[in-house]
Amino acid sequence: MYKVQISGTGLYTPKEKISNEELVQSFNKYVDEFNEINSEEINNGKIQPLEKSSAKFIEKASGVKSRYVQNKTGILDTSFMRPKLRERSEEELSNLAEMGVIAAKDAIKNSNIDVDDIDAVIVACSNLERAYPAIAIEIQNALDIKGFAFDMNVACSSATFGIQTIFDMVKSGSIKSAIMINPEICTGHLNFRDRDCHFIFGDVATAVILERLNEENIKENSYEIIGTRLLTKFSNNIRNNYGFLNNSSPDGVGQSDKLFHQNGRKVFKEVVPEVSNLIKSHLEENNLSANDLKGMYLHQANENMNVLISKYVLGKDAPKELAPVVLDEYANTSSAGSIIAFHKYNKSLNKNDLAIICSFGAGYSVGNVIVKKIA
């Protein structure tokens, strides 16, 4: 069995950005238009009027202040209210592959690895642009990486599940290294007409390089993976029913359940203890204490949730430098959130410091990775 290191991470951030104030202005305009068009039915009690949103409500409910997006104009256009992306020919890079390649190149540069030494590519994300060929194989081709590639989806936990998948392959000796990529155009599955969730997601891509660890191959700012732990438990409280069989059930085409929807209160109540208990038990089985942690890079879905998880794990409130937040700037970026936090803040760790990368979400799914800084 071989030791495994995370030798580099990469990040792609879209150029366009939407503030809470801009999003609310668009949403409230849509509410006014809807209520005016449907005023007769509203007055007759047949349907309920829509309620307006506010930047204050969004920040209090989630901690989100802004989000990066692949297309701003389509989202803010009340006649469209979704990203407007150009149809691409089959000879062009797909949307996910294009942003994934950028994040991958950043990770490759930061890890100082030659593409000839990368044995595999895994794309792990919450929504895949197509069924086949795999986005991972498309990226593999664009980067001229040999070996094999495949896609996987565990919703918001895709990154930690992807890390364990590669960790197990490198540890066993079947490969020496691999790159995992998380391209997320989350705005594509978001219902911007739903007050309870129209503010949640943003777009981004991240990448992580994992390599065999030995004395001759310790990279600058690298992290040994001490252990991984995964958990899934079925729940309908976070769901998206869009899929290839939709056209076979025409009554459901275009319905709101074909976009992201959730029962937020139940998710909060049920996920927080699951995540907290998994982190604590994972630390204990590795003879570690929560007090040993110098970094907690948690899934960036909801600031209130992260605060509570950190408190349950540590037994006290966590300072921002221990459990950094990026969702205020990026919003929820599904699988990429914990990787963004790790990418941006891991350089503050010192040699031999311990940290966790933890993600959680639909499924329910939870993944935790314990790492130690080695250089």
Rounded to whole angstroms, how far apart are CA atoms 152 and 239?
17
Q: pLDDT band for 273, please (50, 70, 90 cuts).
A: very high
The bridge status of strand 148-152 relative to strand 293-298 is unpaired
Show the tokens assigned to 216. 């001759």
For residue 5, give every residue at least 6 positions away whose Cβ sits within 8 Å of its Cβ, in sequence order, or none. 210, 211, 212, 213, 217, 218, 219, 222, 223, 224, 225, 374
Looking at residues 145-173, what average pLDDT do you find?
98
Looking at residues 363-367, what average pLDDT do you find?
97
pLDDT in tens, 3-28: 999 999 999 999 999 999 999 999 99
For the cut 90, the answer to whether the pLDDT of residue 363 exceeds it is yes
Average pLDDT in the chain: 96
pLDDT in tens, 76-120: 999 999 999 999 999 999 999 999 999 999 999 999 999 999 999
Give the CATH number of domain 223-373: 3.40.47.10
Give the pLDDT of residue 95: 98
For 160-187, give one letter per residue: b (16+ CB within 10 A) or e: bbbbbbbbebbbeeebbbbbbbbbbbbb
Domain layout of the chain by residue ranges: 223-373
- Active site members: 156
Show the tokens assigned to 74. 């389509």
For the cut 90, the answer to whether the pLDDT of residue 39 exceeds it is yes
Looking at residues 302-316, what average pLDDT do you find?
96
What distances in angstroms separate CA 239 from CA 155, 188, 264, one per listed residue? 10, 14, 11
For 228-259, give one letter per residue: b (16+ CB within 10 A) or e: bbbbeeebebbebebeeeeeeeeeeeeeeebb
pLDDT in tens, 107-153: 999 999 999 999 999 999 999 999 999 999 999 999 999 999 999 99
Beta bridge pairs of residue 209: 8, 179
Is the CB of residue 337 less than 8 Å from the CB of residue 326? yes
pLDDT in tens, 199-247: 999 999 999 999 999 888 888 899 999 999 999 999 999 999 999 999 9
Q: Is 225 exposed, middle or buried (0-12, 13-18, 19+ CB in 10 A)?
A: buried
Rounded to whole angstroms, how far apart are CA atoms 284 and 82?
45
Taking residue 57's Cβ as centre, other Cβ atoms within 10 Å add up to 15
Give the pLDDT of residue 175: 98
